[in-house]
Structure 1
């Protein structure tokens, strides 16, 4: 049975657009061909509705059917961005940087771009340690207890932060999570000055992270460069060793033509 996504649109009383997106999301998450019955079950759509949507999606080139008649995500769904899109250019520029970081520190190296208040993972090179955190294409870890979230919050004013975070106390994911607005604001002010954020088992026990802002030469923050992995990889001494390497590579990425192209995309 294909996995259902809690993030998918509610399709019982939604528009045709939402139903079509729910089907595409189902196909992407399944990562294999699906029958009509499987899609209808996963999206909770009537078979007749799912069939009509799939016909339209196939006509638009968003899906296709294999030799057995099962439905698959099409090329335009799997890779919607052109190869020369700024995000793809930045991904290619970042790959070697992330590989070097992963090789040097054994942790998972991640580059995230801030799309408004969303955090898109451009690329991740998974660490080889026995405990390697799962990295998806969009960061969903709570803003107040994740490195990318804290770095994003540090670029916003107090009113915007409050709107995103909601009322305190914030949800405690572990005993180390900051739940007080006052304590979090103090930390965010420091992060804004130092451009450095850490997560010391604040989101998941046994997992830590450290990251820095990636900004263009003009000072526009476009994302975060981070290392994450088992807590044993993030002793004070190892974090101190990571910092100059992260900072140097973040500066290199921020100075790249691809980063400036992304900055123009975000400012458009």
Structure 2
């Protein structure tokens, strides 16, 4: 990204209407400069980005507050902070989870001929990051990338149950418990009872809580330290999929969760 590009963006009338995007553009430019130069002062950054020193100072202050940059007390120059390492470190973990889970997802979908999803917690939602489709022609919905409500899905309940009481309370206060169907649990007391059962049983089951006609069951995936990092779910239409009544399904689902967990370094010993 060049300083000419930044300057052009700043003077473009349409770009001026999108100050938030412009600020992000400039912040990225600052990070790129520090990555290239190693360190730089406010004046140097302002010159290269093509902005006033006060604007550069505000950008650096915002990045510093997030630990994305830090200031060298001796030289007064800025360099990349440890927050960059924290963000970078999260990438292989997410990628490896999908990679390690894939064979197990496919085997489970083939055995029970239903849709199997892998979900993680992101921005107060359960987001599906991978999916294996059963051979049924009805299993055609692509859930990958879908942000699904935590309180109304089997994966979401697994992820909610693993949170601390404070973190769960924060999320549910922000999202509320909106009814997705007439069967969605909208009572906090009833939800907490369900979550305690999820912890006891190691599995969450939902009956038409997200969509009428759709049932699902999910189990947790653990990392090397025993923390829940995801959930594996299997879902299907009500007329043929009743998780509790399908011979061997719940045990196979639990074993699938443990297999993926072992691949992520988890040990039950």
Please state which band the TM-score falls in when normalised by the shorter chain.
0.5 to 0.7
Structure 1 residue 154, shift from structure 2 partner: 0.2
1:152 match: 159
Q: Which has the higher helix share?
A: 2
Moved more, 216-225 or 183-192: 216-225
Q: Residue deviations 1:28-71, cap 9 Å, x none?
A: xxxxxxxxxxxxxxxxxxxxxxxxxxxxxxxxxxxxxxxxxxxx
RMSD: 3.0
2:132 match: 125
- Aligned counterparts of 1:165 and 1:117: Cα–Cα separation in 2: 8
Q: Give ranges in structure 1 of 5+ residues lacking alignment.
A: 1-10, 21-80, 262-268
- Aligned counterparts of 1:101 and 1:161: Cα–Cα separation in 2: 30
Q: Does 1:16 find its partner at 2:38?
A: no
Q: Does 1:220 find its partner at 2:249?
A: no
Higher RCO structure (Cα 8 Å, ≥6 apart): 1
Q: Give ranges in structure 2 of 5+ residues lacking alignment.
A: 1-16, 27-87
Structure 1 residue 240, shift from structure 2 partner: 5.3
Q: Greater CA radius of gyration, 1 or 2?
A: 2
CA contact (8 A) 2:215 2:242 kept: no
Q: Does 1:97 find its partner at 2:120?
A: no
- Aligned counterparts of 1:146 and 1:247: Cα–Cα separation in 2: 17
1:136 match: 144
- Aligned counterparts of 1:18 and 1:134: Cα–Cα separation in 2: 31
Structure 1 residue 94, shift from structure 2 partner: 1.7
Structure 1 residue 13, shift from structure 2 partner: 4.5
State how 1:1-268 maps to structure 2 within 5 Å: 12-16=18-22, 85-114=92-121, 117=124, 119-129=126-136, 130-137=138-145, 139-166=146-173, 170-216=177-223, 218-239=225-246, 241-256=248-263, 259-260=264-265
Corresponding residue pairs, total: 187
- Aligned counterparts of 2:232 and 2:207: Cα–Cα separation in 1: 16
- Aligned counterparts of 2:200 and 2:109: Cα–Cα separation in 1: 26
- Aligned counterparts of 1:169 and 1:118: Cα–Cα separation in 2: 12
Moved more, 185-194 or 210-219: 210-219
Structure 1 residue 182, shift from structure 2 partner: 0.8
Q: TM-score, normalised by structure 1?
A: 0.61
- Aligned counterparts of 1:122 and 1:167: Cα–Cα separation in 2: 23
CA 1:16–1:159 in structure 2 vs 1: closer, same or farther (change >3 Å)?
same
